[in-house]
A and B are shown apart, each in its own frame.
Chain A
Amino acid sequence: MNTIRTCLLAATMVGSAALGATTAQAQGKTLTLCWAAWDPANALVELSKDFTAKTNIGMKFEFVPWPNFADRMLNELNSKGKLCDLIIGDSQWIGGSAENKHYVKLNDFFAKEGIKIDDFMPATVTGYAEWPKNSPNYWALPAMGDALGWTYRKDWFSRPALQAEFKAKYNRDLAAPKTQSELKEIAEFFQGRDIDGKKVYGAAIFTERGSEGITMGVANALYPFGFKYQDPKKPYAMNGFVNSDDAVKGLEFYKALYKCCTPPGYSNAYMQEGLDAFKSGQAALQMNWFAFFPGLYKDPNVGGDRIGFFVNPPEKGKGSQLGGQGLSVVSYSANQAEALSYIKWFASLDVQKKWWELGGYTCHKGVLNDANFPKSAPFAADFLVAMGEVVDFWAEPSYAQLMQAEQARIHDYVVADKGTAKQALDLLIQDWTKVFKEDGKF
C-alpha cells in the first residue's frame, strides 16, 4: 500500500512539474532557427541564450548535417513549411529564395531599425544578402563569414630533418605554400612518408560527389589559375572563360593533386572526411572551411602549436571559394515579428563581438576592423585576407542544376578519369547554357 501511495505521489509531482513547464513556455513565444549541424551552430546555441534572457522568447534549433542540409531545407522552403522562423541559408540559395519569396525582404526593416548594411564587410553583403547581386535589395543579414582555406601540420613542418630534406630537394624552406604549385610540391613531399612510425599523406581535399564537395574544392584551384564564370562585360557568356586555357590548367592541377597526394580511398570526401584525415594524423595539408578552424585549433591531438593555417595560395591570380551564410526570416513563419527582433539583436555590435569570441565568424566591420582582431585568433588574419578575395558559385535560382552539372563533369574528369579537362569544361558550358536557356537568360 505504501508503495502505491509513493507511486501516486511521484506521479502527481511529475505531472505538476510538467504542467508548470508548459505554462512557463506558453508565456513567451518560441522561435525555431534552422541551420547546418556543425561547430558554429553550437556557438550560436550558446549565443542565443542571451537573446532569450533579454526578450523571454525561447529558441529552438533545427540543425541538419551538411550533406543533407540543402535538400532538407530547400524542400522545407519549397513546400512553404512553417518549421523554420529563421534560417541561416547558404549563399547560393539567395537568388531562388528571393525570387520565390521564401525570404522576407529586409530593406524596410533595416531602415526602420537603423541597421546599416554598410556596417558589414562588402563581400559578405554581396554574397549572403543581395539579390539581384550588386543591387540594394537585401534578403538576409550577413551572419557567418566563411571561405575555403587550408590547415597544415606545423609540428611536422618544423622538424629539422624534414626541413633539410625539403630544402635540398626544392631549394626553399618548408613553410606554408605561397603558390598552388608550391602547395602541390609540399603535398608530394609528404605523400607516403613515414612520420613517427605511421604512413602519412599529402593533402586532404574535397572530392565529394553527392552534394557540392568537388565543386567547392576544385574552385580553390580554378580561381587562382584564372577561371571565370562568365564574361564580366557580357553576363552568361561563358565560352573562353569557363573553358579558358587557364581554367583547363587549374582543373588539370586539381586532378594531379588528387592523383598524387590524397589518402587512399579519398574519392568521395568532403569536410568531415577532411577533418577525420587531419585529426587522425594522416594528412599534412587539409583543405577546409575557416568555420572549422577554431575547433581544429582546440583539438588535443593536432591543435595548438601543432597546427598552422593559410589562405588558399595564388597562382596566376588570387581567389578563394566563398562559404558562409546569411540570416533570413522565412516568409511562411507565423512569428515574423519575433524573428525580426532576433535579427535586430544579432546585428548589434556587442552581440557580434561575442559571436566571434564563441567561435562564430562575424561579418561586422566593427569587429573585423578592430586593430586587435588579426591577433585575436591564429587564423583571424588569414580570415580577413581570404574574405578580401572570395569568389562564389552561381547564386541563380537554378543554382542546384548548375551545381549538379559541375559535380558530374568535374567528378567524371578528376576521379573517374573520363575525357580531358578541356572536354569536361566544354561539356560544363553546354550544361550551364541549357539551364540558362530554360531560364530565359539568353
Chain B
Amino acid sequence: MRAAYTPIEHRVRGLSDKAIAWLFIAPTMILLLAINLFPLIWTIQLSFTNYRANRPNAPLRNVGLDHYQTILSDPEIWQRMQATAHFVFWTILLQTVIGFALAYLIDRKFRGHGFWTTLILIPMMLSPAVVGNFWTFLYQPQIGLFNYVVSFFTGLAPSSFQMLGDVTLSPWAIIIVDTWMWTPYVMLICLAGLRSIPDYIYEAAEVDRASNWRQFISITLPMCLPFIMLAVLFRGIENFKMFDMVNLLTSGGPGSTTELASITLKRAAFEAWRTGYSSALAIILFVAVFGLANIYVKALNKVKAR
C-alpha cells in the first residue's frame, strides 16, 4: 500500500502551502506597508490637524476639513493647478508626437542607425539637476546658445528676450526642456510598439494594394496605440509630480508663473512647515493623479482588448 502523498514542506517543517506562500511574501508586504501604506495613512491623519513639524511642542488640534476647504477655495492654488495642467498637457502632446515620429524614423533601417539611436537617448540618461543647470546657461540671454539659435532664425537680438524671466515665455521654456529630456523615453516605448507589429500584416496589406498612408492609419497607429497610451500614462504621472528641473530653472518664477503644484507643496511642507496643510494638499494631489490614472488605465485596457 502506498503512503498518502504529503508535500515535502509538511513533512520537514509542518507548514502548509499557504503558510509558506505567506512566509515568502511577508517581507515584501511588510516593506510595502511600512514605506507606502503607513505614511499614506499618517498623512491622511495629519491633514486633519494643525500639526507643524517645526513646532513639535505646540498643542495638537483637530481642524476637521479646514485645510481641504482652504486649499480648494484658494484661487492661488487653482492658479498652480492651471500651471501644472498647462505643463502636463503640452509636454505630453509634444513628447508623444515627436517621440512617435522619431520612433517611426528609427524603426527604418539606415546607415548610422545605432549611432543616432544612442545620441537621441542621451538626454533621458542625464540627471534632472544637471539638465536644469545647463539649460539655465543655454537660456542665458547674453551667452546662451538657445537665444543665439532663435536669433539666427528670426533676426531678433539674442539679449532682447529672456526665456526664464518673461511671464509669457517661461512656461514654454520649461516645456521645451522637459520635451528635450523625455521625448527619447516616449520614443523607446513607441519603438517597442512598432517592432511588435508582425511583418505579415503589412505583407497582407500590400497584397491588398493598401497605400503607405492607409497602412499607417489602419495598422501602425492602432497597433501602436496601447504603447503610446502607456507612454502618456507614465509621462503624465511623472510630469504631474515635476519638481526638480523646474525648481532649478525658474524656482517657480517669474513671480509664480511656473510654480507647479509640487513646488507649492514643497514650500508649504519644508519651508513654511505647515505640515497639516501640506498633508491635505498632498492628499488632494494624490487623489487627483490616482483618479485620473485609474480612468486612463480603464481606457487603456479597452484599447488593448479591441
Contacts and interface: CB of A to CB of B under 8 A. Distances in A.
Give the one of A70, A265, A408 with max B CB within 10 A: A265
Contact of B251 (A100, A268, A397, A400): A268
Interface string B247-269: 10011111111000000000100
B274 interface: yes
Interface string A400-416: 11001000100111011
Contact of B254 (A209, A397, A398): A209
Contacts of A411: 253-256
A208 B251 contact: yes
Contacts of A71: 270-271
Contacts of B253: 209-210, 267-268, 411, 415-416
B272 A268 contact: no
Contacts of B141: 264-265
A78 B273 contact: yes
Contacts, number: 89
Contacts of B254: 209, 267-268, 411, 415-416
Chain B interface helix/strand/loop/mixed: loop
A412 B142 CA distance: 24
B56 A265 contact: no
Contacts of B301: none
B255 A416 contact: yes
A266 interface: yes
Nearest to A434: B70
A265 B54 contact: no
Contacts of B247: 210
B164 A400 contact: no
Chain A interface helix/strand/loop/mixed: loop
Contacts of B270: 71, 75
B167 interface: yes
Given A267-B162, A268-B164, A100 B272 contact: no
Interface in A41-86: 70-71, 74-75, 78-79
Nearest to A267: B165
Interface residues of B, number: 31
Contact of B257 (A70, A208, A400, A416): A416
B271 A266 contact: no
Contact of B274 (A70, A266, A401): A401
Interface string B38-64: 000000000000000111110000000
A214 B184 CA distance: 37
B256 A266 contact: no
Contact of A209 (B53, B144, B250, B274): B250
B272 A412 contact: no
A308 B270 CA distance: 40
Contact of A100 (B55, B144, B162): B55
Nearest to B253: A209
B165 A265 contact: yes
Contacts of A397: 54-55
Contacts of A267: 162, 164-166, 253-254
A138 B51 CA distance: 28
Nearest to B136: A268
Interface of A: 70-71, 74-75, 78-79, 96, 99-101, 208-210, 263-268, 397-398, 400-401, 404, 408, 411-413, 415-418
13 contacts: A70-B271, A78-B53, A209-B254, A264-B159, A265-B144, A265-B164, A268-B250, A397-B55, A398-B272, A400-B273, A408-B256, A411-B256, A416-B255
Across the A-B interface, give the 7 residue pairs with the lowest CB-CB distance, nearest first. Answer: A267-B165, A416-B255, A210-B251, A412-B255, A209-B253, A264-B141, A265-B141
